Structure 1
Amino acid sequence: MFEALSIDTDARGVATLTLNRPEKHNAMSGAMIAELKQAAEQLGMDETVRVVVLTGAGKSFCAGGDLGWMQAQMAADSETRFVEARKLAEALQALNTMPKPLIGKLQGNAFGGGVGMASVCDVAIGVDTLTMGLTETKLGLIPATIGPYVLSRMGEAMARRVFMSARLFKAPEAVTLGLLAKAVPAEDLDAAVEAEVMPYLACAPQAVARAKALTRALGPIIDDAVIDHTIGELVACWEGQEAKDGIGAFFAKEKAPWVKG
């Protein structure tokens, strides 16, 4: 049913949603983005599913946007860029509002959109060796469509430490920033995630769903107006010279013109 994802559900109703492009470090292609929205809607409606665990196959959790997909956006017209950016925004919102607990199991690195994926989880646990970073500004882009979820998770003060600089940071700092609830040795990751899953299996599923919806209603507003604003900002970057220069330099394995030193 899915090409870029897999879903496995155990007898307890714990569904594991796996980003399944290990050869591409689970970078988000157009197909994966479409499937993420579909999977979130499918799992949200499945009454047998009690909890969803989001993880990645292979060494990385998610390397962000697929570079081929980004190249295609550079060659597209404005209307196509808006459509594609909206698909990503809708996938993130579908995961963020899915009426099931969403537990992030970060078995490896997360960059760009991968940080956004961690941020839509209700709680995220990562291995203590992972590296994270909002790396978009190195390419002349910005963390736009993921921005509302990153800010909701980290708060503005913490976000301003890493949101604009593209600085990489390790698991302990990710905990301090609020992106991870905890970082554990790889051999303890399964147990740490299971400790987050188990309490939900003793809770009333509809009450959990209503409680999750209430937290979203009381938290930072992420509505159509906010999402439209982020899409507009991303498209403006795609249409600017910096993105052309940054993405072009990346593929040419050269320094972007603004790099000093």
Structure 2
Amino acid sequence: MTETISIEQDARGVVTLWLDRAEKHNAMSAQMIAELHQAVMELGADDSVRVVVLAAKGKTFCAGGDLGWMRDQFEADPEARGREAAKLAHMLQALNTLPKPLIGRVHGNAFGGGVGLMSVCDVVIGAEAAQFALTETRLGLIPATIGPYVAARMGEARARRVFMSGRRFDAGEAKDLGLLARAVPEGELDAAVEAEVAPYLDCAPGAVARAKVLLRDLGPRIDEAVIGQTVEALAECWAGDEAPEGIGAFFDKRAPRWRG
């Protein structure tokens, strides 16, 4: 039984994988990371599943990484920090390599790791009122484990517009960046997602899976070496001086020392 996600499957084999931690704006805790990873592995191996929709309960799609989970890393030893960063990285890779079409349904805000979750989807439909940001640098961190997927989705030139600045951007810019395929009024989200789902039900599932593998192989390389690089980069940030200051300032409701 899961506590941070929920799963619904209809008679057609369309699964909705819900982020279900609405009271925390679906911020990714250690438990959510583990439950997402396990669910994705099971869905990928289930022949009855034809399409997966990644959606969220509550007002927010995903606020990013749980700051309490991040703060715990400051007290951990380097090996433990590396293990935690690796769990996040491999969960994202499991989503990225899911042998089913993965459709993102995004409303509200998607910050930090929420943008990472969008970037591992095959296509993302977002609400016109949604807001986005890669907020890590505002906290003294970097978009490390999500970085390969964000770069693959946006391309380096477009990613540079938002990857380091931490600024918010709207659905129109998210579409221009390649993060969203379509932006629609929130009341039309379900219909727009269904329009993406339905064509897959006329396709051979094995051919869809093989086509996805081929396309991924033709795209930017995201292998264990790249994942290891991102894990090391995130662990180094947790071990530095800026992340404790940035996250501590958030919990203390004060400005970090670098904010002019």
TM-score range (shorter-chain normalised) is over 0.9
Q: Does 1:167 align with 2:167?
A: yes
The number of residues matched between the two structures is 260
**Aligned partner letter, 1:52:** V
Aligned counterparts, 1:1-261, within 5 A: 1-260=1-260
**Aligned partner letter, 1:112:** G
Partner-residue secondary structure (3-state), 2:172: helix
Q: CA-to-partner distance for each residue in 1:157-205, whole Å, 9 max, x for gaps?
A: 0000000000100111100001100110011101100000000000000
Say what the alpha-carbon RMSD is for the aligned residues: 0.5
Partner-residue secondary structure (3-state), 2:144: coil
Partner-residue secondary structure (3-state), 1:62: coil
Contact 2:107 2:129 in 1 (8 A): no
> TM-score under structure 2 normalisation?
0.99
CA distance in 1, matches of 2:171, 2:23: 23
> TM-score under structure 1 normalisation?
0.99
Partner-residue secondary structure (3-state), 2:61: strand
Contact 2:130 2:170 in 1 (8 A): yes
Q: CA-to-partner distance for each residue in 1:64-114, whole Å, 9 max, x for gaps?
A: 001110111121110110000000001000000000000000022100000
Once the two structures are TM-superposed, the CA of residue 124 in structure 1 deviates from its matched residue by 0.3
Q: CA-to-partner distance for each residue in 1:4-57, whole Å, 9 max, x for gaps?
A: 100100000000000000000000000000011101101000100000000000
Q: CA-to-partner distance for each residue in 1:115-135, whole Å, 9 max, x for gaps?
A: 000000000000000000000
Which 5+ residue runs of structure 2 have no aligned equivalent? none
Partner-residue secondary structure (3-state), 2:199: helix
Q: Which runs of 4+ in 1 moved over 4 A?
A: none
CA distance in 2, matches of 1:239, 1:187: 44
CA distance in 1, matches of 2:181, 2:227: 26
CA distance in 2, matches of 1:59, 1:248: 25
**Aligned partner letter, 1:62:** C
Partner-residue secondary structure (3-state), 2:165: coil
28-37 vs 244-253, greater mean Cα deviation = 244-253
**Aligned partner letter, 1:103:** I
CA distance in 1, matches of 2:251, 2:54: 30
Contact 2:71 2:244 in 1 (8 A): no
**Aligned partner letter, 2:170:** K
